[in-house]
């Protein structure tokens, strides 16, 4: 009889121990940290800036109103030139006579305008891709070639600052689009470079040759002078589109 009671007590004791163990296990499960949430989805890529969207071959030929819808209204419009300000850049859209279609895009070079030429030029932008703010006339010539032109190099008067342009035609991969960099001849290194160009032409030809800008009729002739003279000069603007060819005037 005593053995039966002992076995009963032992069974009750084991039962109590089992309950304690079960309660402990349940408590531990309750205290266990929640399962780690699933990794958040990768952040969506940042939207492209307006300036990066405009520096594209696809901008040329677009409806002007559509481009303004993308970039916002023009700050100023005159003589088929429409100035936009976005992302630290001054961008001028050059339109057709009816102001319906974008024919060219001009970007003023400035420290605030930080943009890569890789989306526009692809592999022609170099390695690493050329930044617009660090572009020089010489670097442009290395990337795209081209020839130098000027609207005036002697006795230019005060009506407007004379401009030197380096104009190149892109390859078929860029739809034979035209590209250019321009610099205003106001003072400093750009004016000194223009003086070297002018002096070489006057020595080889005459003062009238320069005054009549006949050098624009044969842009390759003095390339060995003008190229090195302007190589380190920072351009005023970068332009791409159609109809950029320089009007040479009388070449007979």
pLDDT at residue 3, as a whole number: 43
> What is the rounded distance in angstroms from the CA atom of residue 156 to the CA atom of residue 168?
25
On whether the CB atoms of residues 216 and 162 are closer than 8 A, the answer is no
Q: Mean pLDDT across the stretch 126-137? A: 95
> Rounded mean pLDDT of the chain?
85
Domain ranges of the chain: 49-115, 135-242
Q: 57 pLDDT exceeds 60? A: yes
Q: Which range (28-42, 212-226, 231-245) has the least confidence?
A: 28-42
Task: Answer yes or no: is pLDDT of 17 > 70.
Answer: no
What integer pLDDT is reported at residue 46 of this predicted model?
67
Instruction: State yes or no: pLDDT of 78 exceeds 80.
Output: yes
Confidence of residue 189 (pLDDT cuts 50, 70, 90): very high
Over range 166-170, report the average pLDDT.
Answer: 95
């Amino acid at each position: 009889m005593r053995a039966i009671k002992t076995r009963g007590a032992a069974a009750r004791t084991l039962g109590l121990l089992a309950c304690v163990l079960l309660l402990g296990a349940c408590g531990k499960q309750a205290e266990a940290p929640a399962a780690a949430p699933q990794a958040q989805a990768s952040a969506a890529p940042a939207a492209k800036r307006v300036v990066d969207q405009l520096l594209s071959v696809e901008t040329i030929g677009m409806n002007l109103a559509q481009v303004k819808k993308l970039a916002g209204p023009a700050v100023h419009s005159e003589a088929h030139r429409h100035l936009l300000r976005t992302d630290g850049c001054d961008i001028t859209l050059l339109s057709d006579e009816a102001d319906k279609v974008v024919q060219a895009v001009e970007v003023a070079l400035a420290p605030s305008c930080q943009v890569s030429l890789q989306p526009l030029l692809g592999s022609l932008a170099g390695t690493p891709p050329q930044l617009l703010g660090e572009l020089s006339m010489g670097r442009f010539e290395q990337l795209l070639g081209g020839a130098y032109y000027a609207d005036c190099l002697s006795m230019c008067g005060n009506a407007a600052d004379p401009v030197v342009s380096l104009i190149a035609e892109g390859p078929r991969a860029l739809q034979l689009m035209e590209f250019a960099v321009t610099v205003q001849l106001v003072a400093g290194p750009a004016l000194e470079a223009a003086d070297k160009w002018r002096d070489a032409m006057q020595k080889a030809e005459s003062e009238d040759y320069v005054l009549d800008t006949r050098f624009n009729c044969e842009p390759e002739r003095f390339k060995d002078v003008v190229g090195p003279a302007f190589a380190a000069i920072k351009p005023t603007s970068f332009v791409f589109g159609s109809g950029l060819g320089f009007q040479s005037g009388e070449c007979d």
